[in-house]
Amino acid sequence: MEPGNGTHISKFLLLGISEDPTLQPFLFGLFLFMYLVTVLGNLLIIVATISDSHLHTPMYFFLANLSFADIGFTSTTVPKMLVNIQTQSKVITYTGCIAQIFFLILFCVLDNFLLAVMAYDRYVAICHPLHYMVIMNHRLCGLLVLACWATTALNSLLETLMALRLSFCTDVEIPHFVCELNQLVLLACSDTFPNVIVMYFAAVLLGGGPFAGILYSYSKIVSSVRAISSTQGKYKAFSTCVSHLSVVSLFYSTLLGVYLSSSVTQNSQSTARASVMYSVVTPMLNPFIYSLRNKDIMGALRRLFRWKP
């Protein structure tokens, strides 16, 4: 796969989050640990959801898909970074860079959509509890997840195809640990206006749309919870949203942090360090947030491994 204008760029250099050679062993150990924890934690959520009939509900169906997306997201970035650290190489092929861009956009936007779908699920559960199973039937849940995958795949394909038209000069250094579309656009020598338009349009529509849906769902949830007369009833209703709300807050706050970091500082590697939060740390923490205070998940894991309560 070659760039469309015949510049024959065959590789890029990923500068990583630090060029200090003394830090490389520490970074390798740290990211290997976080990656293994992320994959293991999210796999446990998926296996528990599939194997335990108590978790065959819409909420855990969406959670399993979110866990799969988190595994895909971290697997797109961290293994290549670990290989580069271990081999003391910064090289990523042009094809590998384009593939990373496709899957990064796919799984990041998919996370966003799934969080919105999960917010809608909580809205139906709290605001329409008597009709919950009728509204959130298997067919609707399947269609919602399918729509999430289809929309994000089409968007990712469009933005990746747009990246293929870019041409590059001599500068092939990407000040990041991953091939990020924005960084690739900044390196391009050709006209990037169409790419920028598509990127901003996708950010507003596919980023702002689900976020607006989450805000709307929680505004309705808060109104319903406030209408409950007993304090215990309010606590019970809102407690079903705590894990999801924590994940949503973590996801969007880290994205906002990366955006503010890139706006304030001109140091691209500082932005790369900030992006570790949403690309590695958030997927690692999600299983803990959803399982540690969740009796259903913990019960399913105990039954799975025959742990004694």
Q: In whole angstroms, what is the distance from residue 62 CA to residue 115 CA?
A: 9
pLDDT of 2 reads: 44
pLDDT in tens, 172-182: 888 889 998 98
298-309: average pLDDT = 74
pLDDT tens for 71-82 read 999 999 999 999
Amino acid 170: pLDDT:
78
pLDDT at 151 over 50: yes
For 202-223, what is each residue's pLDDT tens digit?
A: 999 999 999 999 999 999 999 9
Decide if pLDDT at 125 tops 60: yes
Model pLDDT for residues 284-303, shown as the tens digit of each residue: 999 999 887 788 888 888 88
- Predicted confidence at residue 279, as pLDDT, reads 86
C-beta contacts of 120-125 below 8 A and 24+ residues apart: 120/144, 120/213, 120/217, 121/58, 121/59, 121/62, 122/59, 122/217, 122/221, 122/240, 122/241, 122/244, 123/217, 123/218, 123/220, 123/221, 125/59, 125/240
What are the tens digits of pLDDT across the range 45-73? Answer: 999 999 988 899 999 999 999 999 999 99
Rounded average pLDDT over 29-54: 94
Of the two residues 238 and 95, the one the predictor is more confident about is 95
- Phi first, then psi: give them for residue 6, nearest 5 degrees: 80, 20
DSSP per-residue string spanning 83-127: HHHHHT--EEEHHHHHHHHHHHHHHHHHHHHHHHHHHHHHHHHHH
d(CA 293, CA 160): 39
Residue 4 banded pLDDT, cuts 50, 70, 90: very low
pLDDT band at 137 (very low <50, low <70, confident <90, very high): very high
Rounded mean pLDDT, 224-248: 85
Reported as a pLDDT band with limits 50, 70 and 90, residue 263 is: low
Which segment, 46-60, 107-121, 189-203, is predicted with the most confidence on average? 107-121
Q: Residue 277 — very low, low, confident or very high, per pLDDT cuts 50/70/90?
A: confident
- Residue ranges of domains in the chain, CATH in brackets: 11-306 (1.20.1070.10)
| pTM of the model as a whole | 0.91
Query: For residue 104, what pLDDT is reported?
Result: 95
pLDDT value at 267 more than 80: no
pLDDT at position 226 over 80? yes
| Helix/strand/coil for 293 | coil
pLDDT band, residue 258 (cuts 50/70/90): confident
Residue 1 predicted with pLDDT over 50: no
Count of CB atoms within 10 A of residue 134's CB?
10
3-state SS of 187-252 is: HECCCCHHHHHHHHHHHHHHHHHHHHHHHHHHHHHHHHHHHCCCHHHHHHHHHCCHHHHHHHHHHH
Q: Does 239 or 160 have the greater pLDDT score?
A: 160
Mean pLDDT of 3-28: 79
